[in-house]
Amino acid sequence: MNEALERALVDAGIAARVEVRERLAILIPRGNDANLKSEAQRRVVLALAAERGFTHVALELLD
């Protein structure tokens, strides 16, 4: 878990839990709003994660 990135994502309007595997952040969406279809939104997420040392960000696909 990375609380700093989670808080930054919430501030950006994205509700997701963050699981950390070294420099990979896995976003586990809370609800249906974190679909990140917009490229601009994805860029924001990548930038927020990069500021916190992550090189990779992936959105978990849930059932």
Q: Which tokens sit at 28? A: 């586990």
Bridge partners, residue 27, by sequence: 18, 59
Please give the structure tokens belonging to residue 2: 């990375």
With tokens 């601009």, the residue in question is: 40
Residue 35 contacts another protein per CB under 8 A: yes
Q: Is 15 in the site for another protein (CB under 8 A)?
A: no
7 contributes a contact to another protein by CB under 8 A = no
Indicate whether 3 belongs to the interface with another protein (CB under 8 A).
no
The closest alpha carbon to 19, from 6, 8, 32, belongs to: 6
Minimum separation from the CB atom of position 39 to another protein (A): 7
Residues making contact with another protein (CB under 8 A): 21-24, 26-27, 32, 35-37, 39, 42, 45-46, 55-63
